[in-house]
Chain A
Amino acid sequence: MPRSRIFIVGALIGLALIVSFLNVSGLKVAQEKLLTFVAPVFYSSVFLKKNITEFTKHRMTLHQLEEANSKLLSENRELKTENLVLHAAADENNQLRNALNYREKSAFKLVPATVIARDNSTWWNSFKIDRGSRDGIAPDMVIITECGLVGKTSVVTPGLSTIVLITDESCLVASKVQGTSDQGICSGIRIPTGGLQLNFLNKLANLQAGQKVYTAGVSGGIFPSGIEIGTVKSFCLRELDGQAILDPTVDFSNLEHVFVIVGAKE
Chain B
Amino acid sequence: MKPLTLFLFLLVVLLLTMSLEALVPSLAFLGQVHLVFFTIIFCFAALALPFFGSLFFGFITGLIEGLLVLEIHGQHVEIRLGWFIIFFMLWAFMLQLVSDITDGVRWELHSLGAGLCTATFLLGEFFLLSFSRGNFFITGEVFLLSFLSAGISLILAPLFYGCVQFWLSPPKQNSTTYLTPL
CB-CB nearest in chain A for B96: A5
**Most chain A beta-carbon contacts within 10 A, residue among B25, B63, B71, B125:** B71
Known: A24-B75, A27-B70, A155-B72. A12 touches B89 (CB 8 A): yes
Task: Identify the B interface with A (CB < 8 A).
Answer: 15-16, 18-26, 28, 32-34, 36, 51-52, 55-56, 59, 62-64, 67-78, 80-83, 85-86, 89, 93, 122, 125-126, 129-130, 133, 139, 141-142, 145-146, 149
Q: Which residues of B contact A42 (CB under 8 A)?
A: 19, 22-23
Q: Given the complex of chains A and B, what is the CA–CA distance between A122 and B86 in angstroms?
A: 20
CB-CB nearest in chain B for A194: B32
Additional A-B contact list (13), CB under 8 Å, known A12-B59, A19-B63, A41-B20: A12-B56, A20-B80, A24-B75, A24-B77, A41-B15, A41-B16, A42-B19, A117-B22, A118-B25, A123-B126, A124-B69, A126-B71, A253-B25
* Contact status A191-B72, CB under 8 Å: no
Q: Does A85 contact B (CB under 8 A)?
A: no
* Contact status A122-B125, CB under 8 Å: yes
Q: Which residues of A contact B70 (CB under 8 A)?
A: 27, 31
Q: Given the complex of chains A and B, what is the CA–CA distance between A148 and B81 in angstroms?
A: 34
* Contact status B51-A5, CB under 8 Å: yes
Known: A34-B64, A117-B22. A122 touches B145 (CB 8 A): yes
Q: Does A221 contact B (CB under 8 A)?
A: no
Q: Which of B19, B33, B55, B72 contacts A12 (CB 8 A)?
A: B55
Q: Given the complex of chains A and B, what is the CA–CA distance between A253 and B24 in angstroms?
A: 11
Known: A20-B82, A118-B26, A128-B22. A170 touches B89 (CB 8 A): no
Q: Given the complex of chains A and B, what is the CA–CA distance between A45 and B68 in angstroms?
A: 17
Q: Given the complex of chains A and B, what is the CA–CA distance between A24 and B21 in angstroms?
A: 26
* Contact status B21-A120, CB under 8 Å: yes
* Contact status A16-B59, CB under 8 Å: yes
Q: Given the complex of chains A and B, what is the CA–CA distance between A4 and B80 in angstroms?
A: 28
Residue-by-residue, is A41-56 near B (CB-CB < 8 Å gives 1, otherwise 0)? Answer: 1100110010000000
Known: A9-B93, A42-B19. A191 touches B141 (CB 8 A): yes
Q: Does A13 contact B (CB under 8 A)?
A: yes
* Contact status A117-B71, CB under 8 Å: no
Q: Which residues of B contact A16 (CB under 8 A)?
A: 59, 62, 82, 85-86, 89
CB-CB nearest in chain B for A48: B23
Q: Which residues of A contact B23 (CB under 8 A)?
A: 42, 45-46, 49, 116-118
Nearest 5 pairs of A and B residues by beta carbon: A20-B82, A120-B22, A117-B22, A41-B19, A16-B85
CB-CB nearest in chain A for B85: A16
* Contact status A13-B72, CB under 8 Å: no
Known: A20-B81, A22-B81, A34-B68. A123 touches B125 (CB 8 A): yes
Q: Which of A31, A121, A169, A253 contacts B28 (CB 8 A)?
A: A253
* Contact status B69-A191, CB under 8 Å: no
Q: Which residues of B contact A116 (CB under 8 A)?
A: 23
Q: Which residues of B contact A9 (CB under 8 A)?
A: 55, 89, 93
